[in-house]
Amino acid sequence: MRKGEWFFPVRVFAACGLFLVFSAPRAGTAEVVTDSTKAGIEIGLTYHGDRICFFGSMGGIDADAVVVKLTSPVEKVKLNLKGRVGPFWMNVKQYEVDRVPFMYKIHASESLEKILTPETAEALGIGFDTIRKNLSFHIVKGKEDERDRDALFEGLLRLKKRANLYKIDDASRIEIKKGQVFKHYFTFPSGAKAGEYLVESFLFKDKNLVGRASEVIAVKKVGLEEFVYRAANEHPVWYGICAVLIALCAGLLVGFVFKGGGH
Amino acid sequence: MFNIYLPIADMSINLFLVVGIGGLVGFLSGLFGVGGGFLLTPLMMMIGIPPPVAAASDSNQIVAGASSGAFGHWRLGNVDMKMGSIILAGGITGGTLGVQFVKYLRTVGNFEFTMKLVYVIMLGLVGGSMFMESLRSIRLAQKAPSSAGPHRAAAETSAPRAGSVFSRLPLQMHFTKSGIRTSAIFPFCIGMTVGILAALLGVGGGFIMVPAMIYIIGMPTITAIGTDLFQIVITSANVTLQQAITNHTVDIGLALILLLGSTLGAQIGVRASRALRGEQIRILLSIIVLILMVKLLLDLVLTPDNLVSFAAGASGGH
Report the alpha-carbon distance of residue A230 to residue A241 in Å, rounded.
Answer: 15
The yes-or-no verdict on residue B129 having pLDDT over 90 is no
The per-residue pLDDT for B155 is: 43
The per-residue pLDDT for B90 is: 96
Q: Which residues contact B45 (CB under 8 A, 6 or more apart)?
A: B51, B54
Helix residue spans in chain B (DSSP H): 15-32, 37-46, 51-75, 81-108, 111-143, 150-157, 163-166, 185-201, 206-211, 221-246, 252-275, 278-301
Q: Which of B73, B110, B112, B75 is nearest to B232 (CA)?
A: B73
Q: What interhelical angle do B185-201 and B81-108 show, nearest 10? A: 40
pLDDT tens readout for residues A71-112: 998 899 999 999 999 999 999 999 999 999 999 999 999 898
In contact, A109 and A66? CB cutoff 8 Å: yes
The answer to whether the CB atoms of B110 and A90 lie below 8 A apart is yes
Q: Which of B217, B190, B240 is nearest to B37 (CA)?
A: B240
Q: Where does residue B288 rank: exposed (0-12), middle (13-18), buried (19+ CB within 10 A)?
A: middle
Sign of torsion, CA A91 A96 A97 A103? positive
pLDDT tens readout for residues B202-211: 998 888 888 8
Report the alpha-carbon distance of residue A52 to residue A42 in Å, rounded.
Answer: 12
Residue predicted with more confidence, B282 or B58: B58
Q: Which residues contact A250 (CB under 8 A, 6 or more apart)?
A: B64, B256, B259
pLDDT tens readout for residues A137-173: 999 988 988 889 999 999 999 999 998 899 998 777 8
The per-residue pLDDT for A259 is: 65
Mark residue A33 as left, alpha or beta (left: phi above 0; alpha: psi -120 to 50; beta: remaining): beta
Torsion (CA) A188, A189, A190, A191 in degrees, nearest 10: -100
The yes-or-no verdict on residue A30 having pLDDT over 80 is no
Residue predicted with more confidence, B226 or B318: B226
The per-residue pLDDT for B20 is: 93
Query: What pTM was estimated for this model as a whole?
Result: 0.80
Query: What ipTM goes with this model?
Result: 0.83
Minimal Cβ distance to A243: which of B29, B60, B316: B60
For chain B, say whether A239 makes contact (Cβ under 8 Å). Answer: yes
Chain B residues touching residue A98 (CB < 8 angstroms): none
For chain B, say whether A230 makes contact (Cβ under 8 Å). Answer: no
Which residue is closest to B237 within chain A, CA to CA? A244
Which H, E and C letters describe B206-241, residue by residue?
Answer: HHHHHHHHHHHHCCCHHHHHHHHHHHHHHHHHHHHH
The per-residue pLDDT for B32 is: 75
The per-residue pLDDT for A180 is: 87
pLDDT tens readout for residues A203-240: 999 988 998 999 999 998 888 888 998 999 999 999 99
- Our CA-based measurement puts residue A8 at a distance from the nearest CA of chain B, in whole angstroms, of 57
The yes-or-no verdict on residue A12 having pLDDT over 90 is no
The per-residue pLDDT for B157 is: 39
Average pLDDT value over all residues in chain B: 85
Residue predicted with more confidence, B37 or A249: A249
Q: Which residues contact B304 (CB under 8 A, 6 or more apart)?
A: A82, A89
Average pLDDT value over all residues in chain A: 84
Chain B residues touching residue A90 (CB < 8 angstroms): 110, 113, 300
154-193 of B, contacting A, C-beta below 8 A = none
pLDDT tens readout for residues B160-202: 455 566 777 778 888 888 888 888 899 999 999 999 999 999 9
Report the alpha-carbon distance of residue B8 to residue B252 in Å, rounded.
Answer: 9
